[in-house]
Amino acid sequence: MSQNVDKQPEQAGNKLFIDVGSTYFKVSTPTSIEQHFRDFNKTILDDLMHKCGSTVDQFAKEDIYICSSANGGLSTLLIGITNSFSIKYATNIAFNSGINIIDTVLLQNIEEYSIPSDLIDVVIIVGGTDSHGNIFNDSLYNYVQQLNYSNIVYVGTQQDAARVQENIPGLVVLPNIIDDRLHIVEEHLKEYLTNLYQQDIEGKEDIKHLYEKTANQIFSTPYIVNKALPLIDASFTVANPFILLDIGGATTDVHYSKDLVDENIVTENEYDRLVFKKLGVYKSRQSLIFAAKNNEFVYELLMHLKVTENIFNEHDEKATKILMQLAIFLVLCKMSHYRKAYITLKLLSINSIVFTGGITKVLSVAEVEDIIAFFYKKILTSDHKPTAILDTNYDIWTLGAKEKNLCR
User: What sign for the dihedral angle of Cα 317, 323, 327, 329?
Assistant: positive
> What's the Rg (C-alpha) of the chain?
22
| Residue of the chain from 36, 42, 132, 346 that contacts another protein (CB under 8 A) | 132
Q: Of the candidates 81, 94, 243, 331, which one interacts with another protein according to CB under 8 A? A: 81
Contacts of 224 (CB under 8 A, 6+ apart): 19, 67, 397, 400, 401, 404
Decide: is 139 part of the binding site for another protein (CB under 8 A): no
Q: Which amino acid is at 156?
A: G
CB of 131 to another protein, least distance (A): 7
Q: Quick one: how many helices (H) and strands (E) in the chain?
A: 13, 16
Q: Say if residue 92 is exposed, middle or buried (CB neighbours under 10 Å; 0-12, 13-18, 19+).
A: buried
- Comparing CB distances to another protein, the nearer of 8 and 131 is 131
CB of 265 to another protein, least distance (A): 12
Distance between CA 232 and CA 316 in Å, rounded?
A: 34
| Run of H or E residues at 334 | helix 317-334
For another protein, which is the closer residue by CB, 21 or 128?
128
- The nearer residue to another protein, 30 or 133, going by C-beta atoms, is 133
CA distances from 246 to 185, 200, 383 (A): 27, 21, 24
Residue 102: strand pairing partners = none
Site map (CB under 8 A) of another protein, residues 345-384, x = contact: ----------------------------------------
What binding mask, one character per residue, do residues 180-199 give for another protein by CB under 8 A, x or -? -xx-----------------
In eight-state DSSP terms, residue 114 is P
Say whether residue 133 binds another protein (CB under 8 A): yes
Among 98, 127, 249, 400, binds another protein (CB under 8 A): 127
The span from the CA of 283 to the CA of 277, in Å, is: 11
Q: Is 91 in the site for another protein (CB under 8 A)?
A: no
Over the window 231 to 270, marking each residue x when it contacts another protein by CB under 8 A and - when it does not, the resulting string is: -------------------------------x-x------
| Cβ 93 to another protein shortest distance, Å | 16
Q: Which of 85, 256, 282, 374 binds another protein (CB under 8 A)?
A: 85
Output the smallest distance, CB 365 to another protein, in A: 37
> Is residue 128 part of the contact set for another protein (CB under 8 A)?
yes
